Homo-oligomer: A and B are copies of this chain.
Amino acid sequence: MTKILAEILTIGDEILFGQITDTNSQWMSQELDQLGIRVVRKTTVGDNEEDILSAFAEAEAKADLVLITGGLGPTNDDLTMPMLARYFDSGIVKNQAVEDHVRNFFESRGREFTEMNKRQALVPEVATVLHNELGTAPGTWYEREGKVFVSMPGVPHEMKHLMKEHVLPRVREFFHTPVIYHKLIKTVGIGESFLADKIKDWEENLPGHIKLAYLPSIGHVKLRLTATGDNREKLAAEVSELIDQALPIMGKYIYGYDGTTLEQAIGEMLLERKQTIALAESCTGGYVQHKLTTIAGSSAYFQGGVVPYHNDFKMDLIGVKEATLAAHGAVSEETVKEMAEGVRRKFKADIGAATSGIAGPGGGSEDKPVGTVWIAYADGEQTIAKKLQLTQNRKLNIELSQIAVLNLVRKSLKG
């Protein structure tokens, strides 16, 4: 099969001048990549006729599919629609369905439907209109000699909605792209190269139509399996079986699949076990509790916690012993264990967890340099502590400690 080539064309002065961040084109690239379509160029031009028309011509010369965003407002600055009409030698007509939708869009929000708004319904006669439920500027689709142009609004959630609902299904059909099935495997607690080494044999034995990609980010490694074929259910079953085969070697690092976050995974484990948790955070300063409470419904399992930044409060609030602090210091196995046990008791929780470390840049010593962090887990039966030796960077140390303590909780819950 010949590779389908694509260009992503963004229209708008606000991107050229750096006033807004372009997150659209990366998202579109990823979606096209997942269909097996190769993006060969991305271009951004401003709101002027000549640049837009020459960008159309250059894109058509290089690509089979041209995805255009932006320049669709109702004002005179917005030139995408008239330039598309000119480029495709087409008249402009009023589309009644779009006008009705735009009228309803404004009136249902108690806003006036003006003559200016009416212009959103003017589309090139040759275009197929793609309904934009989430906004007022429609998508439009153009075909000529085996090539496709698509115009969409630049507002990210409108563009994504149009892509998923209309553009990608039409692209698949038009270009007869194969069915592609993806699964993200989310791991924590192991570096990319160590993971790659562990699953080497499994990876080498993947069938030719299933590809593996490593997507590392801070503290996490995601694995993406991409299966290509002609039947989605069959691909999903194959991928599921392959993951089952890999579980004995990497199952303990997996906290979830696809969109699941680590804090969500822990929330679900606690809900399922009907258990509660409390946190005592020193070096992470409340960040772990923040992460847990971003999840809707977390009050069902999160009891609360403390940030005893100074030693007095480690004793006073959660009963860390003065003798322990005196003998071992705040950043020590003994102290962090007493913190986890103490916060568990204080908050009447099933599980207590704690962090204590030197985030930096100050506070390090030869014995305990910046980046030394202790984390602990306590559940009444056992208390587990772990030492981390992290970086010189304060924010990175806080981020890595937060992930490590949540991962310690996850592993301990799994048993």
Contacts and interface: CB of A to CB of B under 8 A. Distances in A.
Interface string A287-327: 11110111011110011111111101100110000000000
Given A29-B17, A305-B286, A310-B303, A398 B45 contact: no
Nearest to A360: B296
B41 A41 contact: no
A305 B304 contact: no
A15 B15 CA distance: 17
Contact of A287 (B42, B290, B313): B290
Contacts of A16: 29, 38-42
A43 B9 CA distance: 9
Nearest to A14: B29
A347 B304 CA distance: 17
Contact of A40 (B23, B46, B302): B46
B281 A285 contact: no
Interface residues of A, number: 68
A28 interface: yes
Interface in A311-353: 312-313, 316-317, 346-348
Contact of A27 (B18, B287, B316): B18
B46 A43 contact: no
Contact of A306 (B23, B43, B306, B310): B306
Contacts of A297: 362
A288 B285 CA distance: 9
A294 B302 contact: no
Interface in A23-38: 23, 25-30, 32-33, 38
A20 to B, nearest CB: 8
A293 B286 contact: yes
A362 B290 contact: no
A394 interface: yes
B302 A292 contact: no
Interface in A138-195: none
Interface in A198-235: none
A78 to B, nearest CB: 18
Contacts of A289: 285-286, 307
A29 B18 contact: yes
A51 B58 contact: no
Contact of A41 (B44, B307, B348): B44
Interface string A31-75: 011000011111111100001000000100000000000000000
A307 B304 contact: yes
A39 B15 CA distance: 10
A22 B18 contact: no
A395 interface: yes
Contacts of A22: 22, 25-26
A15 B313 CA distance: 49
A361 interface: yes
Nearest to A281: B286
Given A16-B38, A16-B39, A287-B293, 7 more contacts: A41-B44, A285-B293, A285-B294, A286-B286, A303-B313, A304-B313, A305-B307
Interface of A: 10, 15-18, 20-23, 25-30, 32-33, 38-46, 51, 58, 279, 281, 284-290, 292-294, 296-299, 302-310, 312-313, 316-317, 346-348, 359-363, 394-395, 398
